Amino acid sequence: MIEFKLPSLGSDMDEGRLNDWRVHAGDTVARGQIVAEVETTKAAIEVECWHDGTVYELLVQPGTTVPVGTVLATLLEPGETAPPTPPDGTRARPAPPAQRTPPPTPPTARPAEAPTAPPARRRWVSPAARRTAEARGVDLDLVTGTGPGGAVTIADVDRTAESPPPKEPSVDRAAGIRQTIAAAMSRSNREIPHYYLTETIPLDTTLAWLEEHNRQRRITERVLLAVLQIRAVALAARRYPELNGFWIDGTHHSSSDVHVGVAVSLRQGGLIAPALHDVPDKPIEVLMAEFADLVSRARAGRLRSSEVSDPTLTVTNLGDRGVESVLGVIYPPQVALVGFGRTTTRSWPIGDELRAMPTVVATLAADHRASDGHRGGLFLADIHARLTHPESLWT
Amino acid sequence: MTTNNEEPTQTLLAILHSIAPEIEPQDIAPNEPLRDQVDLDSLDWLNFLIKIDKAFSIEISESAYPQLRTLNDIVRYLTPIIGEPEHTQEHSR
């Protein structure tokens, strides 16, 4: 029997509200399949299952808020037979595994180095209150208990039934996003000894190459400079692993995979930095398509659990906002963030001459616990070299 | 803005609104660069052009990008491709 748990939703997200199951008991599921949708303060996250198997029992009901790590369902392994006692269909067990956090409590960032879920806060719902809730169609997770130890009474259920319906999660999302960013960035500034390096990169060759590439293609197949920058960073990160991965429990865990978190500003305010997976291994056209899809889903608030949980370093591009450079704040537990400013024409010496040169300033914010300025400088120089040799980014 | 331009302009504003829902279409100045008025990053801009490309069944070449800055620029670019309206052209080229 496999326990399917709510996976990590990023270091700044410690719980989620189950919106919907996408599978039923008895369904066969494949690795990577989306099996549920969970609402967090930042987005609705489609939760992928990382096992092949058959759904045995769904343990958590839609509408329930549960901490990361909660067992959501049990699965039978391929070939495994069901235990003799049949599960109670898709019905959850009578006692929900956790209660919804009262709305006024802001989400708190929990260090990702403590992946164990905190024990669920249990509270008592009297059988009479439960019956009343059922009769009046009240979601018990939305009821604030006023009895002893937060127990839910009939009066509580009545009050909830008569109060206006709770606001849609999306209405509160802007405030939730702000709180979540505040927690993650405070933690970053408190814990991570940042150092910063900057490098100005000439772009004449790259832009000419890009223009030539795009000239021959339909508008839907054209590539943006931002994607070349992301790829240059990813290839450099593979060569300098101390800038890639996570700082957990006082140690740097470098990652052999390079999943680039792409900082996406949201129209309602705030930002989210979901992962483009395996950037060094994908052709540039594939990356461009995935980049466009990721940004549009991030803005629509529809991301997958793997995208929010596993970026190994982040790239932020503030160039379109018209700034020259960005000195970023690392998204913990990552150890580096690379920023790009706008493309600016600067005078640039070539031999004895000065030329008007399109340039971009690349910056590195890095965790001094995991790397030093010397290696950080080599990393940034490597990005410079790759970005000025666009043919190296294509293969 | 002439009446001739009304239809493509409305379509363009609808496309812009689908990308940047916070805009008030009537506040968009037709002769000011769009990206000075609306918060559009490079991907938003590309998506805007892709949607125009699709809505008018045209093919926007990359060499045309620099001349497509304002709403009226785009209307001027579209007019000869999607056909002149029957009325006399009032605006200057």
pLDDT tens-digit profile of A218-260? Answer: 888 999 999 999 999 999 999 999 999 999 999 999 999 999 9
What pLDDT, on the 0 to 100 scale, is given for residue A162? 72
Residue A142, pLDDT > 90, answer: no
Chain B residues in contact with A218 by the CB 8 A cut-off are: 59
Residue A92, pLDDT > 80, answer: no
- Structural tokens at position B34: 């769009």
Average pLDDT over chain A, rounded to whole?
A: 84
Query: Between residues 41 and 80 of chain B, which touch chain A (CB distance below 8 Å)?
Result: 41-43, 46-47, 49-50, 53, 59-63
What pLDDT, on the 0 to 100 scale, is given for residue A321? 66
Chain B residues in contact with A296 by the CB 8 A cut-off are: 47
Match 């790239």 to its residue by tokens: A315
Interface test with B, best of A219, A224, A271, A323 (most B CBs within 10 A): A219
Interaxial angle between packed helices B42-55 and B6-19, expressed in degrees from 0 to 180 and rounded to the nearest 10: 140
Cβ contact B46–A215 (<8 Å): no
Model pTM score: 0.75
Chain A residues in contact with B21 by the CB 8 A cut-off are: 267
What pLDDT, on the 0 to 100 scale, is given for residue A223? 94
What pLDDT, on the 0 to 100 scale, is given for residue A164? 58
Gap between the Cα atoms of A27 and A74, Å rounded: 12
Across the range A363-382, mean pLDDT stands at 98
- Structural tokens at position A314: 């982040």
- Structural tokens at position A256: 């052999």
What pLDDT, on the 0 to 100 scale, is given for residue A23? 93
Gap between the Cα atoms of A4 and A388, Å rounded: 46
Cβ contact B43–A219 (<8 Å): no
Beta bridge partners of A245: A254
**Nearest chain B CA: its distance from A220 CA (Å):** 6
Top-confidence residue, A210 or A105: A210
Pairing of strands A302-304, A44-48: parallel
**Nearest chain A CA: its distance from B5 CA (Å):** 24
Gap between the Cα atoms of A109 and A182, Å rounded: 9
Tally of CA atoms within 13 A in the half-sphere of A247 that contains its CB:
22
Q: Is A222 on the interface with B (CB under 8 A)?
A: yes
Cβ contact B43–A218 (<8 Å): no
Cβ contact B22–A267 (<8 Å): yes
Please say whether the beta carbons of A362 and A380 come within 8 A: yes
Chain B residues in contact with A223 by the CB 8 A cut-off are: none
Gap between the Cα atoms of A131 and A322, Å rounded: 59
Among A191, A306, A322, smallest CA distance to A259 is for A306
What pLDDT, on the 0 to 100 scale, is given for residue A229? 97
| Nearest-CB residue to A220 (from B21, B40, B50) | B50
pLDDT digits (tens, 9 = 90+) for A2-12: 899 998 877 67
What pLDDT, on the 0 to 100 scale, is given for residue A300? 85
pLDDT digits (tens, 9 = 90+) for A301-332: 889 988 988 899 999 998 776 899 999 999 99
Cβ contact A224–B43 (<8 Å): yes
- Side chain identity at residue A382, one-letter code: D
Cβ contact A320–B20 (<8 Å): no
pLDDT band at A354 (very low <50, low <70, confident <90, very high): very high
- Structural tokens at position A340: 């790009």
DSSP state of B16: H
| Stretch among A131-145, A177-191, A268-282, A352-366 having the lowest mean pLDDT | A131-145
Please say whether the beta carbons of A65 and A141 come within 8 A: yes
Cβ contact B42–A224 (<8 Å): yes
Closest residue, chain A, to B49 (C-alpha) = A219
Cβ contact B47–A215 (<8 Å): no
Residue A94, pLDDT > 60, answer: no
Gap between the Cα atoms of A81 and A232, Å rounded: 49
User: A138 to each of A18, A19, A165, how far by Cα in Å?
Assistant: 17, 16, 10
- Side chain identity at residue B37, one-letter code: Q
ipTM over the 0.85 cut-off: no
Radius of gyration of chain B (CA): 13
Across the range A93-103, mean pLDDT stands at 43
Cβ contact A267–B20 (<8 Å): yes
Chain B residues in contact with A215 by the CB 8 A cut-off are: 61-63
Angle at B24 between CA B23 and CA B26, to 5 degrees: 140
Cβ contact A224–B46 (<8 Å): yes
Q: Is A343 on the interface with B (CB under 8 A)?
A: no
Across the range A37-51, mean pLDDT stands at 86
User: A197: which residues sit within 8 A by CB, 6+ positions away?
Assistant: A363, A364, A366, A373, A376, A377, A380
Closest residue, chain A, to B40 (C-alpha) = A320
What pLDDT, on the 0 to 100 scale, is given for residue B4? 54
Percentage of chain A with pLDDT > 70?
85
What pLDDT, on the 0 to 100 scale, is given for residue B84? 58
Q: What is the full per-residue pLDDT of chain B (93 aa) written as tens digits?
A: 444 567 888 999 999 998 888 888 888 999 999 988 898 888 899 999 999 999 988 888 888 888 899 999 999 998 887 775 544 444 444
pLDDT band at A95 (very low <50, low <70, confident <90, very high): very low
Closest residue, chain A, to B60 (C-alpha) = A219
